Structure 1
Amino acid sequence: MTQQQQFPAPEAPQVTVRGEGRLEVEPELARIGVSVRARGTGRDAVLAALTGRNAEAVALVKSYGDAVSKLETGALSITPEQAKHGRGERLRGYQGWVRLSAELTDFTALGELVTRLADLEWTEVDGPWWALRPDSPAYAEARRLAVREAVRRAREYAAALGGSLVALLELSDTGLDPMPFGQPRGGGMRMAFAAEAADAPAPLDLEPQLQQVAADVAARFVMSPPTL
């Protein structure tokens, strides 16, 4: 009579999976950067010109009312320019700039505002950079998709072994990342024009850039004993 080999009683089997949620949604915010510049031979004249141009740009942005959700001054600089030739600390003049950033929620006004800002004298415009609000429902939806995907995968693995899911042991968020669709972060355009024409330029037609939201979770389940 042969002695049967004895195996220890197995613990409850577990299955660990990852779930991913991916969405492409319309942006909710558009951010632009504005740089106002001035240059001349006298410090006071440069500062006066810079102050006036900054006030003009700020007033223009504020004139769009509720379409602009945020307007901030980033930095200001007045820099002496040293003469290329000659000895000592001879100055050729001064240059200065002020940087502004604006955030818009109304994209119908965006093209017109960007065009009018770029048409101001000695003014440079960067952007737009498209984004979602920090509390956008797209983030929650991506997380729900990731969880549902994790449960689906775990059920499929358990079913392949002739078992089923019994309980959830652990669920962890491994990442949530909003990325512009089709273009890396920092993409945008730059415009700098001097106001010379008598007629205002036609507004730019700007198409919002789809945003890709990605959520990832890791989940660990207890499953019923498999049928092997």
Structure 2
Amino acid sequence: MTTEPHTPAAPYGTPDAPRVAVRGEARLEVDPEIASISITVSARGTDRRTALEDLTRRNTAVLDLVKTYGEAVEKLETGAFSINPELTRKGRAEHIRAYHGRVNLTAELTDFTALGELTSRLSDLELTRVDGPWWSLRPASPVYGQARTQAVREAVVRAREYAEALGTHLVALLELADDGSENTSSYDHPIAVGYGGGMTRSVVAEAAPALDLEPQRQTVHAHVNARFTMAPPQL
């Protein structure tokens, strides 16, 4: 019994059903939806208990301040926490000179007017550092869908232009491959907007002026590959 050899389909179509392969692209520039800041609260004490109590007090003050902004703060999370001894050498022995405490928090805001005010107030707190902001879109932002839709439409238009250049028209879609869409904004280095001194203040300072933070536009790319069949052109 003999088996007829299998002839694979022509990868680039046939004279009766020529193919056209195109790439559709889209690039949108939109306003950010979220601004993230990183908050680092520090404390120092001559013993572990003192450092921990001071850190707890400062951390509570930061949390209370952030929470006063209500719905403007979409997310508030506590990250790493540490209490570390500072060692000093006296003769051949090492002694603990002090204890250093640190806790990191992350806040995401959707109200950028409140962001400037909150950033300034946090920066005015002692032993509190604020880094950011980092601008972004939500993972489920409709902007990504808009970019993909625009990329597909551009692929169809491009394929039709090729077909019309040959005096023919598209017949069917064979393949639509999503190369994905992603936010490709390049962020600047974080801006260290405040670090309080280590001394206790004896005079109540005036409220810090609100920072005027200009949102960074976000660039969203989408790419698709599409293959179509055309009616045979008359060449």
Q: 2:48 aligns with which of 35, 43, 52?
A: 43
User: Matches of 2:93 and 2:177 in 1, distance apart?
Assistant: 65
Q: Which runs of 5+ in 1 are unaligned?
A: 1-8
Q: 1:27 aligns with which of 8, 24, 32?
A: 32
Shift of 1:224: 0.9
CA pair 85-145 structure 1, distance change in 2 beyond 3 A: farther
User: Matches of 1:10 and 1:213 in 2, distance apart?
Assistant: 39
Matched, 1:185 2:194: no
Task: Quote the residue 2:175 is aligned against.
Answer: 170
Deviates further, 84-93 or 22-31: 84-93
SS at match of 1:149: helix
CA pair 156-80 structure 1, distance change in 2 beyond 3 A: same
SS at match of 1:133: coil
Shift of 1:193: 3.1
Partner deviation per Cα, 1:63-121 (whole Å, 9 max, x = no partner): 00000010000110111111155323322211110000000011110100000001011
SS at match of 1:46: helix
Q: Which runs of 5+ in 2 are unaligned?
A: 1-13
User: Matches of 2:89 and 2:194 in 1, distance apart?
Assistant: 26
CA pair 84-217 structure 1, distance change in 2 beyond 3 A: farther
SS at match of 2:29: strand
Partner deviation per Cα, 1:6-45 (whole Å, 9 max, x = no partner): xxx7341111111111000001101000000012221111
Partner deviation per Cα, 1:165-203 (whole Å, 9 max, x = no partner): 1110111110211122xxx23643112232756101110
Give aligned-pair identity as a percent.
59
Task: Quote the residue 1:4 is aligned against.
Answer: none
SS at match of 2:62: helix
Shift of 1:137: 1.3
User: Matches of 2:66 and 2:89 in 1, distance apart?
Assistant: 38
Task: Quote the residue 1:6 is aligned against.
Answer: none
Number of aligned residue pairs:
217
Matched, 1:200 2:207: yes
Q: 1:68 aligns with which of 73, 81, 90?
A: 73
TM-score by length of structure 2 reads 0.88
